[in-house]
């Protein structure tokens, strides 16, 4: 039997991935602008502003049944107007597919929404573990002043459905108001 070195490493302090099979993607404000409420404020910001940097170990091709993806997302601190930087958010294409998230560093919220539009949120920080059940849309929000690093593991055939969220959005938005987190219901 051969004993091999692992082809990929995960830095357990920072979440950064290195080695083989790593894909890096960056989401800029320009590509995500529509998700923010204050379009005037968004239009005044540099569209090249990086909102989210993602490192994924793509061990199998996208869509592989029975496989797993593993990633760390680095969500930058910042706001558009008074609304905190956030990820686009998505349901899975394969609706029943679940996912694990875990907090690595920074402070934020995991916003969850079921198919009826009912939202809940979990605080995310170093060491928190989040089970995202099937049929639940999920979005990360950086409510802190540092990068929010969050690990994730999900089925490689789950897919991402951004369309529904782009069209309808989440039913709440998260702002800063007087130095506090303020949750605003935008539809019921
Ligand atoms: Mn997901």
Neighbours of ion ligand 1 (CB under 5 A): 99
Mean of per-residue pLDDT scores for the chain? 97
Q: How far is the CA of 187 from the centre of ligand 1 (A)?
A: 23
Does pLDDT of 187 surpass 90?
A: no
Q: How far is the CA of 97 from the centre of ligand 1 (A)?
A: 8
CA-CA-CA-CA torsion sign (29, 34, 125, 24): negative
Q: How far is the CA of 147 from the centre of ligand 1 (A)?
A: 20
Q: pLDDT value at position 124?
A: 98
Q: pLDDT value at position 38?
A: 98
Mean pLDDT of 149-177: 95
Q: How far is the CA of 153 from the centre of ligand 1 (A)?
A: 9
Span 60-105, pLDDT tens digits: 999 999 999 999 999 999 999 999 999 999 999 999 999 999 999 9
Q: How far is the CA of 44 from the centre of ligand 1 (A)?
A: 30
Q: Which of 146, 153, 143 is nearest to 175 (CA)?
A: 143
Q: How far is the CA of 41 from the centre of ligand 1 (A)?
A: 28
Rounded to whole angstroms, the Cα distance separating 176 from 172 reads 13
Rounded to whole angstroms, the Cα distance separating 163 from 21 reads 28
Q: How far is the CA of 138 from the centre of ligand 1 (A)?
A: 7
Mean pLDDT of 121-143: 98
Does pLDDT of 26 surpass 90?
A: yes
Between the alpha carbon of residue 161 and those of residues 2, 55, 157, the distances in Å are 41, 19, 12
Q: pLDDT value at position 50?
A: 98
Mean pLDDT of 105-133: 98
Q: How far is the CA of 77 from the centre of ligand 1 (A)?
A: 21
Span 5-19, pLDDT tens digits: 999 999 999 999 999
Q: How far is the CA of 19 from the centre of ligand 1 (A)?
A: 23
- Verdict on whether the full-model pTM lies above 0.75: yes
Does pLDDT of 166 surpass 90?
A: no
Q: pLDDT value at position 188?
A: 78
**Residue-by-residue DSSP string for 10-31:** E-TTT--EEESSEEEEEEEHHH
């Amino acid at each position: 039997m051969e004993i091999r070195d692992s082809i990929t490493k995960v830095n357990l302090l920072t979440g950064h991935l290195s080695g083989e099979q790593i894909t890096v993607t960056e989401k800029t404000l320009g590509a995500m602008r529509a998700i923010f409420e204050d379009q005037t404020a968004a239009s005044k910001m540099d569209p090249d502003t990086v909102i989210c940097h993602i490192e994924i170990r793509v061990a199998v091709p996208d869509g592989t049944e029975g496989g797993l993806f593993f990633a760390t997302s680095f969500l930058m601190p910042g706001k558009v107007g008074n609304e905190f930087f956030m990820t686009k958010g998505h349901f899975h294409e394969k609706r029943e597919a679940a996912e694990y998230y875990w907090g690595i560093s920074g402070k934020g919220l995991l916003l969850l929404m079921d198919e009826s539009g009912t939202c809940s949120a979990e605080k995310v920080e170093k060491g928190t573990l989040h089970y995202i059940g099937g049929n639940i849309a999920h979005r990360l929000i950086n409510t802190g002043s540092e990068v929010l690093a969050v690990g994730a593991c999900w089925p490689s055939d789950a897919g991402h459905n951004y369309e529904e969220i782009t069209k309808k959005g989440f039913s709440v938005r998260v702002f800063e108001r007087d130095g506090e987190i303020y949750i605003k219901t935008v539809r019921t």
